[in-house]
Amino acid sequence: MVVGAVALGIGFLSAPTTVEEAKAMVSDAHGHGGHGHGDHDTHADDHVVGHKDEAHHSDHHDTHADDHHDKNDEAYANSDSHDAHGGGHGDSHDKHLLHQLQNRPWAATYLAALFFMMIALGVLAFYAIQRAAQAGWSILLFRVMEGITAYLLPGSIIVFVLLVLSGLHLNHLFVWMDAEVVAHDEIIQNKQSYLNVPFFLARALFYIVGWNLYRFYSRKFSLAQDNDNGIGYHKKNFRLAAGFLVFYIVTESMMSWDWIMSVDPHWFSTLFGWYVFASMIVTAVTVIAMVTIYLKSKGLLEEVNDSHIHDLGKFMFGFSVFWTYLWFSQFMLIWYSNIPEEVTYFITRIEDYNLLFFGMVVMNFVLPLLILMNSDYKRNNWFIIMAGIIIVLGHYLDFYNMIMPATVGDQWSFGLSELGSASLFTGLFLYVVFSALAKAPLKPKGDPLVKESKHFVY
Amino acid sequence: MSSKVIHAIYDDDDVLLHAVKDVKAANHHIEEVFTPFPVHGLDKAMGLAPTRIAIASFMFGCLGLSIAIWLTNYIMIEDWPQNIGGKPSFSYLENVPAFVPVLFEMTIFFAAHLMVITFYLRSRLWPFKKAENPMLSTTDDKFLLEVAVADNEKKLVSLLKKTGAIEVKVHEKKGES
Of residues A311 and A227, which shows the higher confidence score? A311
pLDDT of residue A93: 64
Q: Say yes or no for a CB contact (<8 Å) between B85 and A337.
A: yes
Selecting from B58, B86, B100 the residue whose C-beta is nearest the C-beta of A338 gives B86
Q: How many beta-carbon pairs below 8 A join chains A and B?
A: 19
Q: Which residues of chain B have pLDDT under 50?
A: 1, 176-177
Q: Is the pLDDT assigned to residue A206 strictly greater than 90? A: yes
Q: What is the pLDDT of residue A29?
A: 44
What ipTM goes with this model? 0.78
Q: What's phi and psi for B173, nearest 5 deg?
A: -140, 145
The CA angle A357-A70-A167, to the nearest 5 degrees, is 85
Please write the tens of the pLDDT for every residue from A414-428: 777 788 888 888 888
Residue-level pLDDT at A15: 45
pTM: 0.79
- Average pLDDT for A242-257: 94
A337 touches chain B (CB under 8 A): yes
Residue A332 Cα, gap to closest chain B Cα (Å)? 6
> How confident is the model at residue B107, as a pLDDT?
95
Q: What is the pLDDT of residues A381-414, one digit of tens each?
A: 899 999 999 999 999 999 999 988 888 777 777 7
Query: To 5 degrees, how large is the angle CA A97–CA A100–CA A105?
Result: 140
Cα separation, A315 vs A317, whole angstroms: 5
Q: Which of B116, B20, B112, B111 is nearest to B65 (CA)?
A: B111
pLDDT band at A66 (very low <50, low <70, confident <90, very high): very low
Residue A251 has pLDDT above 90, yes or no: yes
Chain A residues closer than 8 Å to B54 by CB: 374-375
Average pLDDT over residues A288-293: 93
Measured distance CA(A437)–CA(A208) in Å, rounded? 22
Interface of A with B in 374-393 (CB under 8 A): 374-375
Residue A94: its pLDDT value, please? 67
Confidence check: pLDDT of A64 > 50 = no
Q: How are beta strands B30-34 and B2-10 bridged, if at all?
A: unpaired
Residues of B within 8 A of A336 (CB-CB) are 85, 87, 97-98
Q: Is B4 in a helix, a strand, or coil?
A: strand
The upper half-sphere exposure of residue A101, i.e. CA atoms within 13 Å in the direction of its Cβ, equals: 13
Helix (H, G, I), strand (E, B) or coil at B10: strand
Task: State whether the Cα torsion A387-A393-A399-A405 is positive or negative.
Answer: negative
B68: left (phi over 0), alpha (psi -120 to 50) or beta: alpha
Position A279, amino acid: S
Nearest to A331 among B58, B97, B101 (CB): B97
Residue A67: band (very low, low, confident or very high) from pLDDT cuts 50, 70, 90: very low
Interface test with A, best of B100, B102, B105, B108 (most A CBs within 10 A): B100
A114 in Cβ contact with A259 (< 8 Å): yes
Q: How far is CA A225 from CA A1, A241, A433, A437, B15, in A?
A: 17, 15, 21, 17, 36
Is residue B5 classed as helix, strand or coil in its secondary structure? strand
Per-residue pLDDT at B6: 86
Q: For A301-331, what is each residue's pLDDT tens digit?
A: 888 888 899 999 999 999 999 999 999 999 9
Q: How far apart are CA A333 and CA A275, in angstroms?
A: 14
Query: For B172, phi and psi rounded to 5 degrees?
Result: -85, 135
- The minimum CA-CA distance between A338 and chain B, rounded to whole Å, is 8
Average pLDDT over residues A322-351: 89
Characterize B19-46 residue by residue with b for buried, 16 or more Cβ atoms within 10 angstroms of its Cβ, and e for exposed: bbebbeeeebebbebbbeeebeebeebb
Tell me which H or E stretch contains A275. Answer: helix A272-297
Q: What is the mean pLDDT of residues A153-164?
A: 92
On whether any CB of chain B is under 8 Å from the CB of A335, the answer is: yes
CB contact under 8 A, B97 and A337: no
* C-alpha distances in Å from residue B62, one per residue of A347, B69, B74: 31, 11, 18
Reduced to 3 states (helix: H, G, I; strand: E, B; else coil), residue A308 is: helix
Taking CB atoms and an 8 Å limit, are A374 and B54 in contact across chains? yes
Residue B29: per-residue pLDDT: 83
Query: How big is chain A, counted in residues?
Result: 458
CATH of domain B2-36+141-174: 3.30.70.260
Q: Averaged over A144-162, what is the pLDDT?
A: 93
Residues of chain B contacting A338 with CB distance shorter than 8 Å: 85-86
The pLDDT tens digits of the residues spanning A352-389 come to 888 888 989 999 999 998 888 888 888 888 999 999 99
Domain ranges of chain B: 2-36+141-174, 53-122
Task: Chain A: give the shortest CA distance to residue B134, in Å.
Answer: 30
**Minimal Cα distance from B88: which residue of A?**
A336
Contact B85 A338 (CB under 8 A): yes
User: What mean pLDDT is reported for chain A?
Assistant: 79
Q: Provide the sign of the torsion angle of the four alpha carbons B8, B14, B17, B23, taken in this order.
A: negative
* Residues A361, A327 contacting (CB under 8 angstroms): yes
Work out the minimum CA distance from B99 to partner chain A, whole angstroms.
10
Q: Is-contact A272 A193, C-beta < 8 A?
A: no
